[in-house]
Structure 1
Amino acid sequence: MSIEKVRSYFRQWPGMEEKILEFPVSSATVAEAAKAVGTEERRIAKTLSFMLDDGPILVVAAGDAKIDNKKFKATFHKKATMLKVDELTELVGHPVGGVCPFGIKEGVKVYLDQSLRRFPTVFPACGSANSAIELTIPELETYSRFDQWVDVCKVPDEEQ
């Protein structure tokens, strides 16, 4: 099970596995995750998966952010093509609703979108459709083993 992979991944940092939250309800969507956690949707760190020429990548963005196709193409030199639901587990290592940057398959690059920097803490999933973890931005950088910060999203005007 994918959440077990994430638990195992977090064991390399003492005390981190215990920070994983599991809910009796779904947290598969941004709205469901915000309700389960008790926070605003924009503080949910959604993990989006795309295919580039050299393999799959993950972009972790704020819950209210949307991919800006022009920014994506300028950054990655390719049109934003999301992975299909049936490709997620095979290529990334997690099922839909639980995709996260922790415990992923070797070679999958992780990018953190600037939209996350607006918040002191965010809530990414932990490998299942009913889990999350609260992390500061520096913690997200550490535990996601991200490749770089990118600016590939747009956020609602009132939030900028």
Structure 2
Amino acid sequence: MPAEQTSASSHAAVDRVVAALAADGLEPRIVWFDDAVTTAQLAADALGVEVGQIANSLVFTLDDEPILVLTSGAHRVDTEWLGEQLGGRLGRASKEVVKAATGQVIGGVAPVGHPSPVRTFVDTELAAFDEVWAAAGHAKTVFPTTYDDLVRITGGTPTAVEPAQRT
């Protein structure tokens, strides 16, 4: 069962996320889990929500630029198709690129709290939910937000991350 953040549950990356959320006018409500929730399904099960409400934070490289794609946990990013839509070649970022771009490690990358802005694309499928959950800087943390706030706080571009129909 997840627990609300207490003063005893702190981590530098999570603290940066909390500060970024507060600076964007949101009341940070960080939920800590006893165990890491490194997949959308694990997070959804722990929270008792639909997997589609989980905003997976995936760092890719678009040509050589690190980008962040916040995608619904209900589906996968079609990297070839999305790369074409964005006008370049999309590839998985290495753990070193993820850490350098976000200041966080794979499994806990939050949409905010990065050392400098990361160009962000927000899956339009997340708009179907009144509440979405995103990682909060550590694999044992998440926070609730809305699709509109997620777009606003990241400066993200609403984007489909897979084609409407696969051929």
- TM-score band, normalised by shorter chain: 0.7 to 0.9
Tell me if the contact between 1:57 and 1:110 (Cα under 8 Å) persists in the aligned partners. yes
For 1:5, the equivalent position in structure 2 comes to 16
CA apart distance, 1:8: 1.8
Letter in 1 for 2:41: A
Tell me if the contact between 1:23 and 1:131 (Cα under 8 Å) persists in the aligned partners. yes
Asked whether 1:152 is paired with 2:167, we answer no
Partner SS, residue 69 of structure 2 = strand
Mind listing any 5+ residue stretches in structure 2 that lack a counterpart? Answer: 1-11
CA apart distance, 1:83: 0.6
**Deviation digits for residues 73-99 of structure 1, max 9, x if unmatched?**
222222320111233112222111111
Distance in 2, matches of 1:16 and 1:94, equals 21
Sort the Cα spacing of 1:15 and 1:61 in 2 relative to 1 into closer, same or farther, 3 A. Answer: closer
Sort the Cα spacing of 1:56 and 1:131 in 2 relative to 1 into closer, same or farther, 3 A. Answer: same
Aligned positions of 1:28-39 closer than 5 A: 28-39=38-49
CA apart distance, 1:49: 0.7
Aligned positions of 1:5-154 closer than 5 A: 5-13=16-24, 16-17=27-28, 19-53=29-63, 55-146=65-156, 148-153=157-162
Tell me if the contact between 1:6 and 1:127 (Cα under 8 Å) persists in the aligned partners. yes
Partner SS, residue 133 of structure 1 = strand
Tell me if the contact between 1:44 and 1:122 (Cα under 8 Å) persists in the aligned partners. yes
Partner SS, residue 104 of structure 1 = coil
Distance in 1, matches of 2:165 and 2:131, equals 19
**Share of identical aligned residues, percent?**
25
Partner SS, residue 117 of structure 1 = helix
CA apart distance, 1:6: 0.6
TM-score, scaled to structure 1: 0.85
Distance in 1, matches of 2:99 and 2:60, equals 13
Distance in 2, matches of 1:108 and 1:117, equals 21
CA apart distance, 1:114: 1.5
More moved, 69-78 vs 114-123: 69-78
Tell me if the contact between 2:61 and 2:93 (Cα under 8 Å) persists in the aligned partners. yes
**Deviation digits for residues 44-100 of structure 1, max 9, x if unmatched?**
110111112352100101001211234312222223201112331122221111112
CA apart distance, 1:13: 4.5
